[in-house]
Amino acid sequence: MINKLTEKIKKTHAPVVVGLDPMLSYIPDHILQTSFTEYGETLEGAADAIWRFNKGIVDSTYDLIPAVKPQIAMYEQFGVPGVAAFQKTVDYCHEKGLLVIGDVKRGDIGSTSAAYAVGHLGNVAVGNNRLSAFGEEFATVNPYLGTDGVQPFIDVCKEERKGLFILVKTSNPSSGEFQDRLIDGRPLYEYVGEKVAQWGAQHMGGAYSYIGAVVGATYPQVGRVLRKIMPKTYILVPGYGAQGGKGADLVHYFNEDGLGAIVNSSRGIIAAYKQEQYARFGALHYAEASRQAVLDMIQDIDHALQAAK
């Protein structure tokens, strides 16, 4: 699946992923009104609104990008109807030819990690059937529990040709509390990065491994170090845009082949129409604002990569 992601990135010239992390406050009134009229101000109504909102953005951007990254928390907060909207979003993105990175940050041990892995990336056995549940191509995984927690995900990825992005260094201000603690003079995230490279070596798809890493855009120097520790690891980079990361900060997350990293923007794209820069589109044309924001993001990253050559 990493081969497929790499091909799509080459084809679109866009190492960019749109984070489908809908909050009700991002959704234009005309969509909320439609959904609330049909389902009331209920969990079902909220789920319908986020699905409609997503559909608009996907329809408006799918030809520009290789992948989307729905953040399941934004769906799970609306309970079972919300999770159904997550499923509907994943299915629709597949219809439009997009790869889906399930931003689920799951992580447990043994048979429990295996259950998450089959549910999100694989097939679950029910009687004589093998059934796909959520069916994303990639999932994000939390490494705190060690190899026991990650290996069941890797096993499913091998079987199903799917991939992972494992949290190494996250983009938030307090990520350093544990991730930066020094062990023999080196921060914990470097050890986690080494493990990711080691896990990934078991499962290569061409030049890159199916087992990727998450490294936040907000720590460019860390990106440079981790790029060297994990040369064959695809790095998923959150924190672009709304969290403060810019294209110029990200050049060291990429390899010299111009590959090896894919940058996520969520709010900066899906709520673009709320920014001054894109206000001219208006709420009714929110999806066109998102398209323009994607084009601008692609250009920003491309310029930064060209300037670094």
* Region 69-88 residues binding a copy of itself, contact defined as CB under 8 A: 71, 73-74, 76-80, 82-84, 87
User: Which of 4, 10, 88, 105 is labelled catalytic?
Assistant: 105
| Whole-angstrom distance, CA of residue 21 vs CA of residue 130 | 30
| Interaction of residue 292 with a copy of itself, rule CB under 8 A | no
| Whole-angstrom distance, CA of residue 235 vs CA of residue 2 | 11
Binding a copy of itself (rule: CB under 8 A), the pick from 59, 178, 257, 279 is 178
Binding a copy of itself (rule: CB under 8 A), the pick from 29, 148, 159, 257 is 148
Instruction: Count other C-beta atoms under 10 Å from residue 291's C-beta.
Output: 21
The two tokens of residue 72 are 């399941």
Enumerate residues 127-146 that contact a copy of itself by CB under 8 A.
127-129, 131, 133-134, 142-146
Binding a copy of itself (rule: CB under 8 A), the pick from 61, 179, 265, 290 is 179
| Total residues in contact with a copy of itself, by rule CB under 8 A | 72
Query: What is the per-residue binding string for a copy of itself in 96-115, x denoting contact by CB under 8 A?
Result: ---------xxxxxxxxx-x
Q: Helix 110-120 crosses helix 147-160 at what angle (to 10 degrees)? A: 30
The two tokens of residue 124 are 């679950």
| Whole-angstrom distance, CA of residue 131 vs CA of residue 68 | 23
Shortest Cβ distance from residue 160 to a copy of itself (Å)?
Answer: 14
Nearer to a copy of itself, 146 or 206 (CB): 146
| Whole-angstrom distance, CA of residue 300 vs CA of residue 294 | 10
| 263 closest CA partner among 279, 275, 274, 252 | 252
Q: Which residues are catalytic?
A: 105
